[in-house]
Structure 1
Amino acid sequence: MKRLFLFLLFIHSTLSAQFKVDYEKFTLDNGLTVIFHVDKSDPVVAVNLTAHVGSAREKAGRTGFAHLFEHLLFLESENLGKGGLDKLSAKIGGSGANGSTSRDRTNYLQTVPADALEKMLWAEADKLGWFINTVTEPVLAKEKQVVKNEKRQGVDNAPYGHTNYVIDKALYPEDHPYNWQVIGSLEDLDNATLEDVKEFFRRWYVPNNVTLVVAGDFDPSQAKQWVHKYFDEIKRGEEIPKLPKRPGVVKEIKKLYHEDNFARVPALTYVWPTVEQYHPDSYALRVLASYLSNGKNAPFYKVLVEQHQLTSSVYADLYASEVAGQFSLSTRAFGGKDLDDVASAFQEAFEKFEKEGISEKDLNRIKAGQERSFYSSLSSVLGKSSSLAQYSIFAGDPGFATEDIKRLLAVSTADVKRVYEKYIKGKNYIATSFVPKGQVELTLKGSVKADVVEEKIVTGAEANFDASQSAEYVKTPSKIDRSVEPPYGKALNVPVPQVWQKGLSKGAQAYGIVSTEVPLVQMNIVLKGGQLLEDKQGAAQLTAGMLMTGTAKRTAAELEEAIQQLGSQIGVSADKEEIRVSVVSLKRNFNATLDLVKEILLSPRWDEKEYQLLKSATLAQLKQMTGNPNFLATSEFDKLIYGKDHVLAKNRLGTEETIGTIELRDLKAYYSKAFVPSAVRVHAVGDLPQGDVVAAIEGILKEWKAGTIQIPNVPEAKSDAVGKIYFYDVPEAKQSVLRIGSLALKANDKEYYPAVVSNYILGGGGFASRLTQELREGKGYTYGINSGFFGSSLGGSFEIGSGVRTNVTKESLESILSILKAYPSTFSDQDLETTKGFLLKSQARAFETASAKLGFLENLSKYGWKPTYIKDREKIVQNMTIPQIQKLASQYMDPQKMVWVVVGDAKTQCPRLKELGFGEPILLK
């Protein structure tokens, strides 16, 4: 089914219009819409429950409810118990129960091994029909804190985080359902009562407002019986009226500004009201957005990046929802640039577009890219389940994909010009200027201060609660015994893919897996060396970037055009140990794509103008990073545990100082040293036999000058920073970002995977882990926390990472310290059973995607492992004992041997941390 489903990937327009997704749709008597899509290519099933309710259905003053419910529905239900869904997911080897909320819908989704489908249908039905009684005052109080932490993490504590809030308040009237943000406001969340919450659930979480999609490897007739068994008796709700279409209103140009505590460069955004999703004009507007800003020939790139050098990139997009849409144009200018100059350049770029228009060649190129993105979103069973639900709810037809792609391919150059003149040219818009604090002079002339609510940091301001209390209620009756978990289905067989391996000429090596599911080939060409071969920090990544800026035969724009005309993707990047060339190609265009790869690898253009543009973009990126608390925490942590001069502590982009000293001749020198065929490992997954792949690679190697590289010895990292707290001050930070950990194991150490296993219950198991259960589920201190072992051939670390509410920084660290101290002695038989259950059952998902297969091949080539290492790891898990896990935890998770890094508001939080027993915190700034 999957092969047929994606057979037309990237085909010519006349055939693409015939694209069809096979599905079966039926409706239960209570109104529940059910959609099945069978895909036998992997032993997995996606289960997706989507409610047609988002922030647009909320009341003013009670915003954020739809998103709050996304959280609440994972916590407990009558028959699964507290945390039951997460425990079930861990036991069956699922991808982890997840969800998302938009303006218009909330979905709950997971991919599970095929033998667990009945269990998931039982659990999803319990969520819909046997849930609301379990929501108590303490549960609500705790989850309010979790949601507020999510808002702080993604909005209040992030550079430019308030941009959408400012835009939507200006674009939509106060009574418009898009006037507020999906996540809501902190004040509204505080004011939400238990009765408010229950009323919201009873109104919107009813079968006649919900769609259930099952996609993957299952028997439809059996699944239909299970759906009836578990969902039939859930009562139908009131009829749900449709929301009328209602575009935003901008009666005059509005210019607003905000001084951003985390921004390091000024940002300008323009927004125009447009049309809702699936409106006939939305397709041409998407093409317009792509043409204006994407690629070397885009008008805005030409004017703002190349001509005036005001920025390194410009981004245009259509954000179309159920009720309305908006077209946005935005850029983050270089530091110190006046946004009035940027606005003038915006106008100049529009005039360039008006004069030149869009050519048929450019139109076809953009259509090919959008078509590729369209199909890529459908390349997994989870992606297909989401698309089927989306089309069913908002287009009224699960099979709307056929019409959707048809409309995209029907867009003409005249359509693009027409929608530009109808919605953009000469029309009123919202303009927002977000500038670093103290740089108001950079804002657009005539801008007024935006009304942004900034949370004050007050220690002890949050109410206490006990979320561990059990709810008392009369259980909702049922015709069947729902307290009994359904059994597993037929046992699964998960074979390891057949791998081919071939030694190539000049010392190169190739590894591959033939996969005929889709007519695509994905390939990574990896050259060992990376940052290890640098004389100046940042040279490896700059060299990688320069390879995509033209060849001896083609300019940067011509190279980009050639790649896109083939429907291919080619990218080059650098990391600590390697340079990587990533390739995605249609099967039929593989050889032509590899011809371009050969040009890129063997005949770089080394254009001085392109180098200066790349250098400016890199410096701008580095400057922006300094305003991101998460980057700062990771950077400081790495320097403390590895030492600031160790390669594992160095930013691959370099530093402002090192980039300033690198000239084009330095990159040529790096290229001559690092780009030799003996350093090459090729990994290929796709619908081509070994011989075809090998022949194409040998065509490159034939013209590649032979040579060898000398990888320098990397000293073992040593740290004398352990057992101390380090604080990096970000004044007025709304969260404290934590990075805690120590040096640990290399990836090829025999104890590395057993250590990974030992961490599952501590912090590697998502909601099954103690860190999450304590700090998120128990106390509401954080939106998320995790721990893990991170290893390479150069070294490794054990790390705990989280962002916590500022005013519980000390309390969060105390909890982490307590959990770490107790972990070895309290690891139980149940913990071991949960760990083994997840790690063994989750193997069903190990090879579903091409990316997973490529990762598998890279492990073989880099570490010299055999394909059976997956089965060897299964044996390790099966044979793990509690004493073994206790020994590993004591050795690698000892809090006294760790570095404790906090990035946050030093004025209010730093003085309290000396109570933790690690001495006076050491200020890093």
Structure 2
Amino acid sequence: MRFNKHIIFLIAFSLLVFSCQRQSKSKTEKQDFKVDFEKFTLDNGLTVVFHVDKSDPVVAVALTSHVGSAREKEGRTGFAHLFEHLLFLESENLGKGGLDKMSARIGGAGANGSTNRDRTNYYQTVPNDALEKMIWAEADKLGFFINTVTEQVLSKEKQVVKNEKRQSYDNAPYGHTSYVIDQNLYPKDHPYHWQVIGSLEDLQNATLADVKEFYRHWYVPNNVTLVVSGDFEPGQAKAWVEKYFGEIKKGENIPALEKRPVVLTQTKKLYHEDNFARLPELTMAWPSVYAYHKDSYALRTLANLLADGKKAPLNKLIVDEKQLAGRINMYQNSAELAGQLMLSIRGFEKVDLNKIHAAVEESFQRFEKEGFTDADLNRIKAVQEVNFYNSLSSVQGKGFQLAQYEIFAGDPGFISKDIQNMLAVTREDVMWVYNQYIKNKPYVVTSFVPKGQVNLALKGSQKASVVEEKIVEGAEEKFDATTQATYTRTPSSFDRTVEPPYGKTPETKVPNVWESKLESGLKTLGIVDREVPLVQFNLRLNGGLLLEDTSKVGVSNLLSELLLKGTKNKTAQELEEAIESLGAAININASEESFTISGRTLARNYPPTMALVQEILLEPRWDEQEFKLAKQRIESQIKQQKANPNSIADNQFRKLLYGNNHILSRNILGTEASLKSITMEDLKNYYMANLSPSVAAFQVVGAVDQQEVMHSLAGLKQHWKAREVRMPQYPTPVVPKGSTVYFYDVPGAKQSVLRFGYLALPATHPDYYPAQVMNYILGGGGFASQLTQQLREGKGYTYGINSSFSGSTVPGPFLIQSGVRSNVTFESADLIKNILQNYAPTYSPQDLEVTKGSLIKSNARAFETMGTKLGMLNNISTYGLPYDYAKRREALVKEMSLDKIKGLALQYVNPNKMYYLVVGDAATQLKKLEKLGYGKPVLLN
């Protein structure tokens, strides 16, 4: 990813349409689910796939090049990912800022991309009136880009990518695990031997000639697939594709790479002392098979059977019986050329990884002896069905799926064969792959242990080769990001500098909301959405951390864990199996101000899923053994947070915002001391006092109508009795009268984590949404924002930075957050301060125009998915917003004036009345921060 956003990218071979049994009938019966498409190829070799979906006035455009890290040369690794970044910066006809600049104007969902071993993709969802603009822009990437890349551009973007590596790998606990695994699993000449992100040395050594050679070989029409998915007219779109892409020249023929599964002749054991880890972690990797290999389906099922759930032998033995770790993670990772079966277990503090390894072997022996049932197999398939439907709930998800099958299976319609293969997995297939790929087979195993705890590593392990970057002042090369490139333009048969016009303006579709209320006080809101046969819901209760005793923080979070560990009539394993047999997922989460039971299920299984929700809520099991296990897991989380720079920053900043006497200054997990003091009686008292329908709201979206929903709540209506819940009143902490710098020392940190801000507004304040509008150009608008443009695009200091207002029913913070290269900590903080000081005076009419264009046009995609519709219902019920609040906010944006924006900026983003928190290496960075002008920094540890 070129920016710190998390999406779920569809991996086609992991999808499944299946239901083991019909649990109940509803008005929505099971039907075949199809993704219709049209495919054609231009004369230059460009493959184009169309999928029409007119449920929302939006369209997703995805351009995928069949090149990832596997197509790189040794010594020039990281190029595919570097290109993912470069292609957003500029092109001949879009100019500087490229697609990012246009995206802000047209209301796009934020142009982004991702790179893996085998492909690089670029994608965005936009209102459908901007489709021609997107096709024009994507064609400019493919045929009219490379001339704009200069030495200055390359130097800057290399720094951005290196910051991404530091943030995601070098400065993160266990961040080097994949590197060590792949270096030892794959031979040196294997294209999966190196990491997608590349090495810092290779990135630094990349030359402009290297870059141009890579682009001209791989970014050609005959190696690219374009997918358009959503509400559009195929005939018109085809004409646009032919116009903008048709004259781009075909490249040389690119032969397919041969499959290269690996074979190990012996087990390899390696260890690494991890500067950011506080718990030991064992990771095992077995060579397996490439994507769509017939064994890949059974391997995926095998991983689920071995590790997922209370009945799984690895979980049962290591987590429940021996209590060596809190959870198990096992999965089949298939790529285009090869695959690997992965098992990762993070032990509790100071647990000897030799014990965990022995327990893994014992678990396998138990699996061989006890096996599994048809019901176990069917339960897994039922869960996969829901995951499949959910992954197709957006036009972008459908587009990703079509591109994936086209590139790696040669046919967008491979979905039907893929599903058949997965449905055909038998118990015999599972045991075959177990014997073929795991039993008595060599593997690579790593022991990542905290500094000074090598004694916990697996015996016989060799020290892993990991390159640790040194913090050196002024080490990065200088560049001038303002330099304009001069070049000879690529010829075209028409004037490509003219941006295409908008199409017909789409009307914002606000979903129809129905609402009801039970006598107990339970509010119910719903939206009918039959695009896919799913239902999503949440039951939100006011409270969470706010209702806890300050001396025993962690009760609500611990209760959220325990309620899913069995009911009065079901053990934890029986409850888990009951949920999964429906293809459902039920989660419980405690947050600072709420306690929420949420879920997702097949529409036909919605009634029995809700029956289980009622059982979980009203008939807790209060299992002492599960209570003990939950406390162990949470204690491990608390310990690990102490070594994670981002977690440290979040927890320390919360203390600065709220002060020691406010409950919201606490970590919802609690502390090691408070966790030890919590008893089962504390959980029961919290449950009895605070979980009441009088402070609850039920929100539901999906293929069920109001009558079905109200019928599903009949049991709660009868048995869930209301009680008075008094919300505590805490005085609102005062805004700091002057700024102070605080520093938390993490010796050797490769990045400094920044958290700057103060306690601002509640979501119910009249200025709350106007302040968000004001913040768009400052730091809320992604690549349109000044913070990103200056710190990332202008200086290369960071991989990502943003600012936000995040109030709720109580005041929440205005927050600027980022991770910056360690040796520019002061420079970054000083630049942020200057941006804040100059924001109101320099805010321009053009800034206002971009803000209005983005926020108004983006309403076309505001309620596309069930998740966004559920968020809308949550806003309505939590903050008392009207059903059409999106329309009202649109009107507010249209009326926003330059003076209003400047007034809000002066009032709410004063850099001289903020907390400045830095988490980083004090030895090299602390002293320089005195130059910010806010006195001597306060060292917090």
Q: Tell me if TM exceeds 0.5.
A: yes
Deviation of residue 134 (structure 1)? Answer: 0.1
Change (3 A) 1:197 1:569: same
Deviation of residue 12 (structure 1)? Answer: 5.4
Pick from 390, 406, 412: which aligns with 1:398?
412
C-alpha separation in 1, matches of 2:555 and 2:31: 46
Match of 1:735 in 2: 751
Q: What stretches of structure 1 of length at least 5 have no aligned partner? A: 1-7
Pick from 811, 814, 817: which aligns with 1:801?
817
Does the residue aligned with 1:87 lie in a helix, a strand or coil?
Answer: helix
Q: What is the aligned-residue identity percentage? A: 61
CA deviations over 1:505-528 (Å, ceiling 9, x no partner) = 212111111122222221111111
**Is the 1:19–1:402 Cα contact (8 Å) retained in structure 2?**
no
2:554 aligned with 1:547: no
Does the residue aligned with 1:583 lie in a helix, a strand or coil?
Answer: strand
Pick from 312, 322, 344: which aligns with 1:298?
312
Pick from 273, 280, 283: which aligns with 2:297?
283
Pick from 563, 570, 574: which aligns with 1:558?
574
**TM-score, structure 1 length as denominator?**
0.98
Does the residue aligned with 2:926 lie in a helix, a strand or coil?
Answer: helix
**Is the 2:736–2:758 Cα contact (8 Å) retained in structure 1?**
no
**Is the 2:749–2:921 Cα contact (8 Å) retained in structure 1?**
yes
2:791 aligned with 1:770: no
Does the residue aligned with 2:713 lie in a helix, a strand or coil?
Answer: helix
Match of 2:84 in 1: 70
CA deviations over 1:133-152 (Å, ceiling 9, x no partner) = 00000000000000000000
Deviation of residue 356 (structure 1)? Answer: 1.0
Correspondence list, 1:360-399, <5 A: 360-399=374-413
C-alpha separation in 2, matches of 1:890 and 1:606: 53
Match of 1:408 in 2: 422
Amino acid at match of 1:893: V
**TM-score, structure 2 length as denominator?**
0.96
Match of 1:863 in 2: 879
**Is the 2:546–2:664 Cα contact (8 Å) retained in structure 1?**
no
CA deviations over 1:808-862 (Å, ceiling 9, x no partner) = 1111111111111110000000000000000000000111011111111111111
Pick from 727, 731, 742: which aligns with 1:711?
727
Deviation of residue 244 (structure 1)? Answer: 0.7
Does the residue aligned with 1:454 lie in a helix, a strand or coil?
Answer: coil
CA deviations over 1:280-328 (Å, ceiling 9, x no partner) = 0000000011111111111001110111100011111111100000001
Correspondence list, 1:348-359, <5 A: 348-359=362-373
Amino acid at match of 2:670: G
C-alpha separation in 2, matches of 1:685 and 1:715: 37
Aligned length: 918
**Is the 1:10–1:586 Cα contact (8 Å) retained in structure 2?**
no
C-alpha separation in 2, matches of 1:229 and 1:650: 58
2:938 aligned with 1:891: no
2:176 aligned with 1:167: no
**Is the 1:520–1:584 Cα contact (8 Å) retained in structure 2?**
yes
Does the residue aligned with 1:798 lie in a helix, a strand or coil?
Answer: strand
Amino acid at match of 2:100: D
Deviation of residue 11 (structure 1)? Answer: 4.4
Deviation of residue 371 (structure 1)? Answer: 2.6
Pick from 517, 527, 545: which aligns with 1:531?
545
Amino acid at match of 1:167: I
**Is the 1:526–1:682 Cα contact (8 Å) retained in structure 2?**
yes
Change (3 A) 1:803 1:892: same
Amino acid at match of 2:83: F
Match of 1:459 in 2: 473
C-alpha separation in 2, matches of 1:356 and 1:694: 43
C-alpha separation in 2, matches of 1:508 and 1:66: 52
Match of 1:263 in 2: 277
Using the TM superposition, name which of 675-684 and 322-331 deviates more: 675-684
Amino acid at match of 2:216: R
C-alpha separation in 2, matches of 1:720 and 1:614: 38
Match of 2:890 in 1: 874
Match of 1:595 in 2: 611
Amino acid at match of 2:786: R
Using the TM superposition, name which of 453-462 and 585-594 deviates more: 585-594
Match of 1:623 in 2: 639
Match of 1:4 in 2: none
C-alpha separation in 2, matches of 1:697 and 1:372: 22
Does the residue aligned with 2:320 lie in a helix, a strand or coil?
Answer: helix
For the aligned residue pairs, the C-alpha RMSD in angstroms reads 1.4
2:48 aligned with 1:34: yes
C-alpha separation in 2, matches of 1:548 and 1:854: 22
Does the residue aligned with 2:365 lie in a helix, a strand or coil?
Answer: helix
Deviation of residue 9 (structure 1)? Answer: 6.4
Deviation of residue 249 (structure 1)? Answer: 3.4
Match of 2:4 in 1: none
C-alpha separation in 2, matches of 1:618 and 1:171: 33
2:200 aligned with 1:186: yes
Deviation of residue 473 (structure 1)? Answer: 0.4
Amino acid at match of 1:900: Y
Does the residue aligned with 1:895 lie in a helix, a strand or coil?
Answer: coil
C-alpha separation in 2, matches of 1:313 and 1:143: 38
**Is the 1:113–1:841 Cα contact (8 Å) retained in structure 2?**
yes
Pick from 722, 736, 760: which aligns with 2:776?
760
Deviation of residue 541 (structure 1)? Answer: 1.1
Match of 2:442 in 1: 428
Pick from 441, 452, 455: which aligns with 2:455?
441
Amino acid at match of 1:111: T
Amino acid at match of 2:828: S
Amino acid at match of 1:246: R
Does the residue aligned with 1:476 lie in a helix, a strand or coil?
Answer: coil
Correspondence list, 1:666-685, <5 A: 666-685=682-701
Does the residue aligned with 1:507 lie in a helix, a strand or coil?
Answer: coil
**Is the 1:17–1:402 Cα contact (8 Å) retained in structure 2?**
no
**Is the 1:525–1:681 Cα contact (8 Å) retained in structure 2?**
yes
C-alpha separation in 1, matches of 2:554 and 2:68: 44
Correspondence list, 1:149-228, <5 A: 149-228=163-242
Deviation of residue 718 (structure 1)? Answer: 2.5
C-alpha separation in 1, matches of 2:51 and 2:586: 32
2:592 aligned with 1:613: no
Does the residue aligned with 1:481 lie in a helix, a strand or coil?
Answer: coil
Deviation of residue 85 (structure 1)? Answer: 0.8
**Is the 2:48–2:226 Cα contact (8 Å) retained in structure 1?**
yes
Deviation of residue 497 (structure 1)? Answer: 1.2
Pick from 822, 829, 839: which aligns with 1:813?
829
Deviation of residue 375 (structure 1)? Answer: 2.7
Match of 1:846 in 2: 862
C-alpha separation in 1, matches of 2:72 and 2:96: 27
Deviation of residue 677 (structure 1)? Answer: 2.0
Does the residue aligned with 1:400 lie in a helix, a strand or coil?
Answer: helix
Does the residue aligned with 2:556 lie in a helix, a strand or coil?
Answer: helix
Match of 1:665 in 2: 681
C-alpha separation in 2, matches of 1:507 and 1:105: 52
Change (3 A) 1:314 1:11: closer
